[in-house]
Structure 1
Amino acid sequence: MKILASAELPQENQVHLNKIFPDDDFIFCNNMEEAEDYLADVEVLITYGTDLTEAVIQKAFKLKWIMVIAAGVDQLPFEELNKRGILVTSAKGIHKAPMSEYVFFVLMLVYRKGKVLIENEKNRVWTRDIHMEEITNKTMLIAGTGILGREIAKIAKAFQMRTIGVSRSGRQVEYFDTNITFKEMDTYLHEADFVVSILPSTPETKGFFQYKHFELMPKHAVFVNIGRGDAVSGEDVLKAIHEEEISHAVLDVFEQEPLPENHPFWEEKNITVTTHLSGVSPHYFDRALDIFSENLKKYKSKNNDMINIVDVKQGY
């Protein structure tokens, strides 16, 4: 079986794949430009997903399965994939450790006044006149109750938090005290000290959080977005901060990336900006390719119970 990687993979991962699948023909490229010469003959493609277009899919005459070694798949050419009946799987779940750590890191950064402490150290200022707070015993509302949402809720329990999960179905999910639907969220926002968005980018979630939602949150609430930037309007976040509807916003994703240097977010003391890195981890490739390896074994044995199958009709 010919397997093409348009995603640049570390040498040790290439060696490992060749070792555990010696009967398969792996072609490792650094980008899609290099990979295009091999597209016509491959059955399986490993990609980040961002390099896939309708034109690329049309060149891959024998392609049956695409493994996206990323959690997000919103940029895929779903219409073409659906028309061709191509199987798509993702690396959903590989970010649960770094991204859940990130959430609690930034919440403690805000509540324990991390920026102030660092600035005081830099300027050699000795003072204990800093108003710190605790994240323990607070209420956290998490929009998105999948693998990452459950991990965040699980860790929240170590801080004795009450957890509210928001999803389309509102079905009961482990580690959440309360599970509600998207439509029910408005009636719970006033209870949330922390609101965390891990929503993917779909037609249903674009512009999901609106200014009215910030108005419903407590004045001391902290809003964290690590899902997709288009889940909320930057103008609405900025207005919510200026009008003191919430106390702080932590944003790792944005409607436009990179965030322009002249964007007002950079100047706001009550907005913390990080550069779409909440999922960064030295274990990224190992975890993603473990999922691929497990799926390849199932694919070769015609086992339909593969991990993280993407619904190309729904777009996630």
Structure 2
Amino acid sequence: MKVLFTFNIKEEQLKRLETEFADVEFSFTKKIEEVPLDNYEVIVTYGEDISTAVLDRASSLKWIMVASAGVEKMPLDEIAEKGIIMSNVRGIHKTPMAESVLAHILSLGRALPTMREHQLKKEWNKKARQTELRGATAIILGPGAIGSEIGRLLQAFGVHTIGCNSSGDRVPNMDETIPFEKLKDVLPKGDIVISVLPSTPKTKGMLDGSYFEAMKDSALFMNFGRGDLVKESTLLHALKHDEIGHAVLDVFEKEPLPAESELWELGNVTISPHVSSHSGKYVERALEFFTVNLSKWREGDRELVNLIDLEQGY
């Protein structure tokens, strides 16, 4: 059995794989377009290098292991047509992303950016406005693995958490859960509105201007899911017309964010260059998913952890 990685792993990580799976041949490349693919049954990838041309060349491919959560840039229809199974590492981002979200909330609430500005000016100024998290209400769009972990951390600070998903079914670490149809009804309660939604046909452009009009004018809006949830023009209008208080954006409609974007210049925006999921433990955690699934695969078990519904896109 042959497995191709399209990214490198550490030497000790490879040795562990070779020890545990002595009958598997592991290969590595960063230029998949230059490698003969006929004999590879499994490809492990971050996803963006899988094209229809790659699929046409990979005649033996049965399983694509995506070492990321988002798969919206992959040719899902073609993968489904060829009967290829696909899994991802959904949940791998929950720790670094939840910590990133909390870091931004605490930083803004305790006025750390303002204090830094005063420091650069060598200015002893005690007038920075600071707030507390306790007693606040956070609305979390997409309370899955990441959203649930954000909710757990916020609840530890005394924050009331409201999860918003397609079903309205209760989920861990949410004091309440509502369906998307009721989102506008609860937005006026939210001191913090956090999106960790994936990109799907249903979520693209979902937040139009009416949602921002429904938010508190002091609300902190945070997008850590996908940038196509809201158009940049909609965000700019909400920020420039004080429909919300501040936005922390880790994802954008167009990435990298163009230098000419007005978002760079607004004082009530914090820009993070899509790095909230970064962690020195990323590959290590991805390999944990892979080894569990590779064991199942070798035993003929195709009910892999984090199987992707290719029609739904997640």
Could you state the TM-score of these two structures normalised by the residue count of structure 1? 0.97
User: Where does 1:152-301 land on structure 2 (aligned, <5 Å)?
Assistant: 152-301=150-299
Which has the larger displacement, 296-305 or 12-21? 12-21
Given that 2:5 and 2:44 are in contact with CA atoms closer than 8 Å, whether structure 1 keeps it comes out as yes
User: Residues 45-93 of structure 1, C-alpha deviation per residue, up to 9 Å, x if partnerless?
Assistant: 0011011111111111010000000011111111111111100000111
How far the C-alpha of 1:123 sits from its partner, in A, is 2.0
What letter is aligned with 1:3?
V
* 1:94-133 equivalences in 2 (<5 Å): 94-133=92-131
- 1 CA distance for matches of 2:272 and 2:168? 30
Displacement of 1:232 in angstroms is 0.7
SS, match of residue 244 in structure 1? coil
Write the letter of the residue equivalent to 2:150. Answer: I
Q: Which residue does the alignment assign to 2:12?
A: 12
Aligned counterparts of 2:77 and 2:30: Cα–Cα separation in 1 = 26
2:197 and 2:8 mapped to 1: Cα distance?
27
1:78 matched to 2:73? The reply is: no
Counterparts of 1:99 and 1:59 in 2: how far apart (Å)?
36
1:30 maps to: 30
Tell me the CA shift for residue 294 of structure 1.
Answer: 0.4
* Unaligned residue ranges in structure 2 (runs of 5+): none
- Aligned residues between the structures: 314
Contact 1:9–1:30 (Cα < 8 Å) also in 2: no
Q: List per-residue Cα deviations over 1:146-172 (Å, max 9, x = no partner).
A: 111111111111011111111111111
Q: Residues 207-234 of structure 1, C-alpha deviation per residue, up to 9 Å, x if partnerless? A: 1111110110111100000100001111
Higher mean displacement: 200-209 or 304-313: 304-313
TM-score, structure 2 as length reference: 0.97
Q: Could you tell me which amino acid in structure 2 is paired with residue 11 of structure 1?
A: E
Distance 1:82 1:305 in 2: 16
Contact 2:2 2:42 in 1 (8 A): yes
The residue aligned with 1:307 is 305
The amino acid across from 1:49 in the alignment is G
- Contact 1:112–1:132 (8 Å) recurs in 2: yes
**Aligned equivalents of 2:58, 2:15: Cα separation in 1:** 25
Q: Per-residue displacement from partner, 1:289-309 (whole Å, max 9, x unpaired)?
A: 100000100111122432100
Residues 33, 54 of structure 2: 8 Å contact kept = no
Query: Which sections of structure 1, spanning at least 5 residues, go unmatched?
Result: none
Tell me how far apart the structure 2 counterparts of residues 291 and 40 of structure 1 sit (CA, whole Å).
Answer: 25
SS where residue 41 of structure 1 aligns? Answer: coil
Following superposition, the deviation at residue 23 of structure 1 comes to 1.2
Q: Report the secondary structure of 2:303's partner residue.
A: coil
Structure 1: distance between partners of 2:233 and 2:8:
36
Kept in 2: contact 1:223–1:250 (CA 8 A)? yes
**Is 1:136 paired with 2:105?**
no
Determine if contact 2:133/2:158 at 8 Å carries over to the other structure: no
Instruction: Please report how far the alpha carbon of residue 198 of structure 1 lies from its aligned counterpart in structure 2 after TM superposition.
Output: 0.5
Secondary structure of the 1:265 match is helix
Distance in structure 2 (CA, Å) of the matches to 1:262 and 1:75 = 25
1:30: how far off?
A: 2.2
Aligned partners of 1:243, 1:27: CA distance in 2, in Å? Answer: 54
Q: Distance in 2 between matches of 1:131 and 1:244?
A: 18
Report the more deviating stretch, 183-192 or 17-26.
Answer: 17-26
Task: Tell me by how many angstroms 1:12 deviates.
Answer: 3.2
In structure 2, the residue corresponding to 1:40 is in which secondary structure?
coil
Shift of 1:111: 1.4
Between 45-54 and 303-312, report the one with greater CA deviation: 303-312
Task: Report percent identity of matched pairs.
Answer: 39
| 1:194 Cα offset (Å) | 0.4
Distance 2:219 2:89 in 1: 32
